[in-house]
A and B are shown apart, each in its own frame.
Chain A
Amino acid sequence: MADDRITITIDGVEVKARRGQTVLEAAIEAGIYIPYLCYHPGMEPFAACRMCVVEVENGRGFPASCTLPVAEGMEVRNNSSQVHELRRDVMELLIADHPHGCLTCHRVDLCGPQDVCLRHVSVNDRCVTCPKNERCELKDTVRYLGMEMESPLEYKYRDLPVETGDPFYDRDYNLCIVCGRCVRVCEEVRGDNAITFTERAGQALVGTSAGTSLLESGCEFCGACLDVCPVGALVESDHKWEKAQQVERTICSHCPVGCQLNLEVNRFEKVVRSVPEISSPANRGQGCFKGKFGLDFVNSKKRLKTPLIRRNGTLEKATWEEAFDYVAERLDEHQGDTFAMLSASDSTNEEHYLAQKFARVVMNSNNVDYTSNTQPDAVNAQREVLGFGAATNPIWDLENSDCILVFNANVTEEHNVVAVPIKRAIKEGAKLIVIDPREVELTRYADLWLRPKPGTELLLLNGLVKALLHQGLERREWLYENCSGLEPLREAMASLEIGEISEQTGIPQDTIDAAMRVYGPSEHSSIVYGIDNVPEELHKDCASALSALSLLTGNLGKPSSGIYPLKPGANSQGAWDVGCVPTHLPGTSPLEDTEARQRVEEEWSIQLPQAKGLGQQDMLRSGQVKALILIGGLDHPTADALQTLQALDFLVVQDSFLSAAAQRADVVLPRSSFAEKTGTYTNLERRIQSVRPVIAPKNSAAKPESWAICQLAQRMGAKGFEFSDTAAVMDEIARIAPIYGGVSHQRLENEGRLVFRPDVGNPLPTQVLYSDKEYHGIQWPCPTTESSGVEILFASGFGDAMPRIPIPDYRKIELAEDSAFPLLFTPGRVLLQSERKMTVIKGLSNRIEREEIIEVHRDDGQVLGLREGDMVELQTNGASLKGRLAFREGLQRGVVSSTQLFGQLMVEVEASQSPDPMSEIAGLNIAAARLVKVES
């Protein structure tokens, strides 16, 4: 290790550097400041701004330190007068066409946003016309160079119109310094290429192809370009001018990736901006449209502020005391199996834990679940095979996989940041196999896109297993050492006819074989699966089959070779871990496990209920449940589900808004949002991370459910709910859940690593704009306080728990049984369809005009008497879509498909009146449909 380090000096200070590092990187690590504008951590050096020039002893000229590799004994001068003078000259060129009234005003330190200072400033471009006021890296750099008041008052104004037409953010290219960070982050990091450099020389700028809107240029609205922009050229349009009073790090509540976000809060306790954290291991500085632009719901005026009790048919304001008294009284009538409890998809681990403890201890019922637990069979199936129903490897391991198989998952929209390492891997030459009847963003990158007829997914997976074995691609030696069950599987597979599978699924035999020839031999293959569109009855076996595929090729227990189940809901993983599911106890032990039961009963000093619990879907279907506590809204508030809620004897809803479910409640309790909570989330890679309170809304009685549950339990005379804070809840979890044994709030805080922070009095711009501490969380299993968690499961083998390769069932589900809707509609959504003409009509909210294309197989079209080019209406139960008919050979018979543009969705989200539109985005669900010819 020591041999790898070489020594250089910067201004006489010795700095240890790693071979291959650049001088700038070595300086940043050593806490030495070299000014820079185009460099950004996580991207290749670009050497465009020339701000980081240095002098090297016995070297020629002034090399840019961002591209200068370190060499043993190198003597770098960062502070000589010549270097300073050159940097000032460079800066003068940069600000020659950047409005810089903010630099030359002598009052600049005194005024804030909204201050008008016309009378004090002789130039007419007041600093407050820049939305990046006080956050601008360019301004800080000019100040660092000591040239602010010397700056010339004259500059060449480009006089370009500000692009305000796109959703979520504005682009003002008058302020652009063409450092290229945005273009590079979009291409290098995100793999999207939605923006590019345009023109050249003095006219060079950033823009889109032919100046089209971002809606049609392939933008995924992740906001990565905003986060790297050093000036005010790219800024969020919401809260554009607001100044942050404080910044707090927390975890996003939209999906289980667990992105660390720095939330900026203004002096009115409003979250005004969200900036993903660079040092975060789960998201590495990346975010998505939801985490970047979809958090305004916490500021909504529509949020519930007081408890409501239904009196004479209407919900009336009440105090918490009254609400607790009433709920406690009514719940007493519903002890046992007629009671059920649903925790929210974004509840913290502590809250999930308290919810299940409440149901089991106070109400003596195992009917406890979380609202987004839509695929419990899949989780259980993977657990049965591998011992864990979670991702085996870290998310960013995907970046180095050679082959990635994505099964039925709309990753780009639902677990967005997971798509980033996948796209990066593809760029490095990895192969991508997508199995999905829908056209999703990743199919564009797929080497093989297998598009089975909906309902036959399991047959196809059987076919893949068979093709793998048939071609002898299994890792026999590894299997003999690590697994059992190979021969039984081989026998079971021998009876299958691949020809029949091919016929049923509609996937040619060659393609099935080819997919396994790509997946099998590759050194590091990973599987990412969502199964959100597979019929529920097939979940279990699909997950088994996928586990079998990863076992057969020995792709477990090593880097970049994992299996990643993608569940919906921000803290689904945590809910399973702490037992907020009807079938499992805290620590993921099954309810029937006597040892685990004993451990829990001892800690809780009660007898656990015996009866099997109902899951979230059965609770609303069975008619057994008479009283329900629902936290958060229903994930899919269908008419049927709402009907069931209406019919309950007693319904308590704790939510932030008066949702459809809350409107049917007997008691409504106001709920704190994730931004007001203390606790932990566990992300999909098993990483336990701290959720911190960011805001404290005024004039609101909203409380987190952890508080409400404990209060209610105590009101009902239960013991074991006297927690001083949520940290105490985690301590209890650690006592009874072995995988969390070494986890505590204190540890999660203390193990953060302090990093160099620019001195506020003497602003050193860029890089570590927000981080003062790095938090890595803990990846369970972490049984003791000495354990630092496990990054990659089974890295040291399977031990005693040698997995048995499962034999998946061989069956399909007939989906199109409804004679009124004989076809299956597979909706698709992609970022870019440049070959399709569209018009963006700009206004207060945009409108997109475009002709939709509805695709079917030629045979189906002819049976229906339709011709290519006909205007048709695609009707499903409750929705319709008009478009022009096109015949596609790649489609299965009986399937109708239409692919929309992601930009259309963004326009809808932007125009939505709902307080939390991002969480209401419907997935791409397969539905029964019919086609009707209409007049064009």
Chain B
Amino acid sequence: MTSNAESLRNRAFQAIRGQKPETVTVLSCLLAVEDELGYIPPEAAEEVARVTGSTINDVWGVASFYTNFQFQPPGRHRVEVCWGPTCHVKGVMPVIRQVMDILGIDGEGATEDGNVSLRFNTCLGACANGPVISVDHHLMGRITPDGARHVLEEIRNGIPSEDDGAS
């Protein structure tokens, strides 16, 4: 077994052990792991199964039910684009296309170099400023395709994103 897998398993186990609530369920364990690792690797699913006395297939059933859980390691930067009704009406679709073009991916997921991961979100809670994207949990409103290109270039160049990345 590679040391990387061993360390993932360890971290997952520590996260499961470290849960504060008294009621430990498959779901609470998965949330703890997601918080710690940012995704659910197979090793973590096995740990959850072991600790909760269920099977890996049970754990998978729960984990795949909730869209919150990721199964691939997230990229170093996390870009979320809102495609909720408001942002949709306010024209987020060209932004999404632009983002996917620049990142070279087709839908949700991480780029090949592991630098950026893209997720779609159904509401980021800032409908008045739609269309909205979030970069590393930092919201940006009234985004345009050009604005999005600008933000992604900044990420690529390693410049921390500024408040007014929007147009």
Contacts and interface: CB of A to CB of B under 8 A. Distances in A.
A726 interface: no
B41 to A, nearest CB: 10
B5 A196 contact: no
A261 to B, nearest CB: 28
B64 to A, nearest CB: 5
Contacts of A118: none
| Residue of B1, B54, B57, B61 ringed by the most chain A CB atoms within 10 A | B57
A114 interface: no
Nearest to B55: A193
B61 A196 contact: yes
B120 interface: no
Interface of A is mostly: loop
B61 to A, nearest CB: 4
B49 interface: yes
A193 B65 CA distance: 17
Contact of A218 (B42, B57, B61): B57
B148 interface: no
Interface in A159-210: 193-200, 207-210
A834 interface: yes
B56 interface: yes
A217 B57 contact: yes
The contact size tier of chain B is: 10 to 19
A834 B49 contact: yes
Contacts of A198: 60-61, 64
Contacts of A837: 1, 5
A834 B61 contact: no
Given A210-B71, A832-B55, A199 B46 contact: no
Interface in A816-870: 832, 834-835, 837
Nearest to A194: B57
A199 B56 contact: no
B58 interface: yes
A621 B64 CA distance: 61
Contacts of B56: 209, 217-218, 832, 834
Contact of B60 (A196, A200, A832): A196
Contacts of B55: 193, 218, 832
A210 B60 contact: yes
Interface string B48-70: 01100011111111001110000
Contacts, number: 47
Nearest to B60: A209
A218 B54 CA distance: 13
B45 interface: yes
A837 B55 CA distance: 16
Nearest to B57: A196
Contacts of A218: 55-57
Contact of A209 (B1, B50, B59): B59
A195 B1 CA distance: 25
Contacts of A835: 46, 50
Interface in B53-112: 54-61, 64-66, 71
A208 B64 CA distance: 11
Contacts of A834: 46, 49, 56
A199 B61 CA distance: 7
Contacts of B66: 200
B115 to A, nearest CB: 25
Given A218-B55, A834-B46, A208 B60 contact: yes
A781 B49 CA distance: 47
B66 to A, nearest CB: 8
B58 A193 contact: yes
A835 B55 CA distance: 12
Contact of B65 (A200, A209, A832): A200
Contacts of A194: 57
Contacts of A195: 57
Contacts of B1: 837
B46 A197 contact: no
Nearest to A195: B57
A539 to B, nearest CB: 37
Contacts of A196: 57-58, 60-61
Contacts of A193: 54-55, 57-58
A99 B21 CA distance: 47
A208 B42 CA distance: 12
Given A210-B42, A210-B71, A199 B57 contact: no
A193 B60 CA distance: 11
Contacts of A210: 42, 45, 60, 71
Contacts of B57: 193-196, 208-209, 217-218
A265 B122 CA distance: 55
Interface string B30-54: 0000000000001001100110001
A198 to B, nearest CB: 5
A870 to B, nearest CB: 15
Contacts of B42: 209-210
Nearest to B9: A835
B120 to A, nearest CB: 15
B58 A199 contact: no
Interface in A641-661: none
B13 to A, nearest CB: 12
A218 B49 CA distance: 13
A199 B65 contact: yes
A218 to B, nearest CB: 7
A308 B59 CA distance: 59
A133 B60 CA distance: 32
Contacts of B49: 834
Interface of B: 1, 5, 42, 45-46, 49-50, 54-61, 64-66, 71
30 contacts: A193-B54, A193-B55, A196-B57, A196-B60, A197-B61, A198-B60, A198-B61, A198-B64, A199-B64, A199-B65, A200-B64, A207-B60, A208-B60, A209-B45, A209-B56, A209-B57, A209-B60, A210-B42, A210-B45, A210-B60, A210-B71, A217-B56, A218-B55, A218-B56, A218-B57, A832-B55, A832-B56, A834-B49, A835-B46, A835-B50
Given A193-B57, A198-B60, A834-B49, 18 more contacts: A193-B54, A195-B57, A196-B57, A197-B65, A199-B65, A208-B57, A208-B60, A209-B45, A209-B60, A210-B42, A210-B71, A217-B57, A218-B56, A834-B46, A834-B56, A835-B46, A835-B50, A837-B5
Interface of A: 193-200, 207-210, 217-218, 832, 834-835, 837
Nearest first, the 6 closest Cβ-Cβ pairs linking A and B are A209-B60, A196-B61, A196-B57, A193-B55, A209-B56, A198-B64
